[in-house]
Amino acid sequence: MRYDRLRSIGGRIQNVAGDLANQGERFHSLLSWRDPRASALFVTFCLVTAIVLYVIPFQVVALLFVFYVFRHPRFRTKLPSIPASFFRRLPSGADSMLYFTIICISLFPLLVLLIWNEKHDKSSCNIC
């Protein structure tokens, strides 16, 4: 009984650690310009946010943030926020490896065909 409970807790901890690693890899891919369009959007958003925070006093920004967080449930949506959706769509390390594997598997027959054509080229064939 104790072993099963310990295993289930260990599995949950491992899942949470994997999720944290995925988020870190997504943030790293955002900063390393793996997806140039997403990185450009992020840099533009940071620039606009910096300008807004420079122009508007901090107390006003904090008050607006508090009003946004404590809004009535009627004004909340069940969909994820735009930044959360944007961040979830970024590729993590596992996604990049999976994409690379799919590309390699799909290009393997083409590579074999090119090598076979090179070996059996008609110009180098003595029989033809």
pLDDT digits (tens, 9 = 90+) for 37-77: 888 888 999 999 999 999 999 999 999 999 998 999 888 88
Domain ranges for the chain, please list them: 2-119
Out of 61-75, 79-93, 102-116, least confident range: 102-116
User: What's the rounded Cα separation, in Å, for the pair 37 and 117?
Assistant: 39
For residue 33, is pLDDT > 70?
yes
pLDDT at residue number 55: 95
pLDDT at residue number 128: 52
pLDDT at residue number 62: 94
Average of per-residue pLDDT values in the chain: 82
Out of 17-26, 32-41, 90-99, least confident range: 90-99
For residue 30, is pLDDT > 70?
yes
For residue 105, is pLDDT > 80?
no
DSSP 55-87: HS-HHHHHHHHHHHHT--GGG--SSPPHHHHHH
pLDDT at residue number 57: 93
Q: Which residues contact 29 (CB under 8 A, 6 or more apart)?
A: 35, 90, 91, 92, 96
Out of 10-14, 81-85, 97-101, least confident range: 97-101
The percentage of residues in the chain with a pLDDT greater than 70, rounded to a whole number, is 87
